[in-house]
Structure formats: C-alpha cells, structure tokens
Amino acid sequence: MTRPQAVPTVQVDNERVAVTEWRFAKGAETGHHHHGYDYVVVPMTTGPLLLQTPEGEVTSQLVAGRAYYRAAGVEHNVINAHDGECVFVEIEIKRGDQA
C-alpha cells in the first residue's frame, strides 16, 4: 500500500537540537526510521497515530499540547490514523552537556 508522505519542516537545526514540525494528511506516513537521539514530541492536534514497530502495531493517542519524551533507539513508521490533519513538533536532543 502506497501512502502519502508526512511533510517535515525543519525550524531549528544546530549542534544541540533539531526542531521539526511534522504535518500528516489523512493516512500519511513518515516511513520506517530509527531515532538516533532522545526526543520530545509536542502535539499540535489531537487524534490517534498508528505506529508500526518491530514488536507490532501500536495506536498512540495524541492530545494537543501534551508533550511526551522518548529515548534514543526508537524504531517505527508513524501513520496518521484519524480523518483530519495531524501536526506535531519534534525536538531532538543532540547533546546533553552544557557548553
């Protein structure tokens, strides 16, 4: 099954963080990927996402404004599983030290 691609817009990318806005049309996906950094997601919309993981499929309910954290190493394909557009901001933490 061919799905539309989610659209990333990089807002900040420096030696410490990468901040990307992700926009998903109905049914859009990121494609399978691996997170090399710890990251925080801040949902801008509310609704379910389907996560295809090595362990199987999981549905995650996003709530606008309710951020969550994940450690590096996550592998998944993220698919918009609701009828409207899905938008979130992803903040990847590249460095933990204080320069």
In a domain, 1, yes or no: no
For residue 44, give its domain range: 7-93
Q: Are 46 and 63 in contact (CB under 8 A)?
A: yes
CA distance linking residue 91 with residue 26, whole number of Å:
23
pTM: 0.91
Render pLDDT for 15-46 as a digit per residue (tens, 0 to 9). 999 999 999 999 999 999 999 999 999 999 99
Is residue 37 domain-resident? yes
In a domain, residue 98? The reply is no
The residues that bridge with 56 in the sheet, in sequence order, are 53
Q: How far apart are alpha carbons 92 and 11 in whole angstroms?
A: 12
Give dist(CA 65, CA 52) in Å, integer. 23
Q: Count the domains in the chain.
A: 1
pLDDT in tens, 51-94: 999 999 999 999 999 999 999 999 999 999 999 999 999 999 99
Q: Please report, for the domain that includes residue 45, its CATH number.
A: 2.60.120.10
